[in-house]
C-alpha cells in the first residue's frame, strides 16, 4: 500500500481516538516503511527490476509479520505503560500493526513470517494487476476519508496522491525510469521517503474536519 493510504489509515484510526495527535498515527502507520527506507540505504534490504517492473525482492527485516505485529505490540505496551498513556499506546500500536496487514494482500509473495524464516513467502499479489490495485487503493483511501469525516479538500488530496502513484504502478509510462532504477536502486527509497513526507504535510494541512452543517 502506498504512502497516501497509510496516511489515510491514520485518519481512520483518529476517528476512533479523537484525543490522539495525528502525528503519532502518521509515524506509527509508516514506521515499517521508514525502516525499509533506512535498510535500503544500508544495503540490508534490496529491490530488483525484472519483467519491466520493480520488485521489492528482499525485505525480511522491515516487512515480516513478526516485525509488523511485534512492533505494534511493543509500541502499545511501551507507550501505555512507559508513558502511562493507554489510549495513545493503543492507537499508535494499531497504526504500527496496520501497515503490514494492509500490505499483505497487495504485495507479491515477498513477506516472510519472521526475519530469518525464509518460507513461506506471503502476499496476495494484487499489485500484479496495477489497474485493480489503483482502484482498490483509491477506494480504500476514500473510505478512510469518509470514516474520518474529512473536507472536500482532503478528499482531493487523497485522490490526487493516489493518481500520483501511476509511475510506480506503470513504470513503463516514463521512459528511462526502469534503467535508472537498475543503475541506482536507492532512487526508489528516496522517492518513497519524499512521498511519505509529502503525504504527512498535505494530509495534515487538510485534515481539519468541517464544522457541523457546513
Please tell me the predicted confidence (pLDDT) of residue 123: 93
CB atoms within 10 A of CB 126: 18
Tell me the average pLDDT across 36-45: 95
Summarised one tens digit per residue, pLDDT across range 59-107 is: 999 999 999 999 999 999 999 999 999 999 999 999 999 999 999 999 9
Cα distances (Å, whole numbers) of residue 205 to 58, 69, 199: 35, 29, 10
Between CA 187 and CA 182 the distance in angstroms is 10
* pTM for this entry: 0.91
Amino acid at each position: 500500500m502506498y504512502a497516501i493510504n497509510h496516511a489515510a489509515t491514520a485518519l481512520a484510526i483518529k476517528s476512533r481516538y479523537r484525543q490522539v495527535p495525528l502525528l503519532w498515527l502518521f509515524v506509527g502507520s509508516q514506521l515499517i516503511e521508514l525502516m525499509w527506507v533506512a535498510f535500503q540505504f544500508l544495503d540490508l534490504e534490496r529491490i530488483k527490476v525484472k519483467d519491466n517492473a520493480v520488485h521489492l525482492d528482499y525485505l525480511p527485516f522491515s516487512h515480516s509479520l513478526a516485525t509488523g505485529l511485534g512492533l505494534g505490540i511493543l509500541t502499545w505496551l511501551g507507550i501505555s505503560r512507559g508513558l502511562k498513556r493507554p489510549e495513545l499506546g493503543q492507537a499508535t500500536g494499531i497504526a504500527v500493526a496496520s501497515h503490514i496487514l494492509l500490505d499483505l494482500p497487495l504485495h507479491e509473495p515477498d513477506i516472510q513470517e519472521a526475519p530469518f524464516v525464509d518460507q513461506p513467502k506471503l502476499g496476495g499479489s494484487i499489485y500484479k494487476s496495477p489497474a485493480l490495485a489503483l482502484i482498490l487503493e483509491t477506494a480504500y483511501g476514500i473510505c478512510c476519508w469518509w470514516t474520518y469525516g474529512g473536507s472536500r479538500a482532503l478528499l482531493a488530496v487523497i485522490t490526487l496522491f493516489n493518481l500520483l502513484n501511476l509511475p510506480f504502478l506503470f513504470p513503463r509510462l516514463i521512459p528511462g525510469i526502469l534503467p535508472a532504477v537498475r543503475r541506482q536502486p536507492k532512487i526508489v527509497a528516496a522517492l518513497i521517503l519524499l512521498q511519505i513526507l509529502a503525504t504527512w504535510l498535505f494530509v495534515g494541512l487538510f485534515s481539519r474536519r468541517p464544522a457541523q452543517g457546513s
